[in-house]
A = this chain, B = another copy of it.
Amino acid sequence: MSLEMNAAELEEFIAKVFPQIKDDFVIEELEEMRIKVRLKVQDKHLRPGGTVSGPSMFGLADVAVYFAIMAMIGPKALAVTTSSSLDFMRKPVAHADLLAECRLLKLGKVLAVGDVLLFSDGMEAPVARASMTYSIPPR
């Protein structure tokens, strides 16, 4: 399978469909079945102490898998998350951006599964891992 959208087309699609989040996320790298997405961490993403909040980490992992699926199947918007699991392993660095490295492990007709590692920018060990299952509506 090859990409249906490149990074520029994907960002344009996101800006149209999710205008409220388009300034939070940057696509750093995109290839078949893989994507790297940056969360530009702002005050609204933080907990007391300055670390990135759990919901922000969930949101980044979820968005990374969604973007990877959209890049592969084209702008369909309607895929929805059905299951997720996350392990939180280290405290994110205060005030650093968060990077999601995602690969799609499965892209079926009905279900897609993505695997994500989250890193604080500049830190080698992952702060969290996530897997997300999306249901893809019939085309």
Tell yes or no: A120 within 8 A of B by CB: no
B81 touches A106 (CB 8 A): no
- Complex copy number for this chain: 4
Chain A count of residues within 8 A CB distance of the other chain:
37
Tell yes or no: A2 within 8 A of B by CB: no
* Contact string against B for A residues 70-93, beta-carbon threshold 8 Å, 1 for contact and 0 otherwise: 000000000011111111111000
| Beyond A106-B125, A131-B131, 4 extra complex contacts between A and B, CB < 8 Å | A18-B47, A84-B86, A87-B131, A105-B117
13 contacts between A and B (CB under 8 A): A18-B47, A54-B81, A82-B88, A82-B133, A83-B85, A85-B85, A87-B133, A89-B105, A89-B113, A105-B126, A106-B125, A115-B129, A129-B131
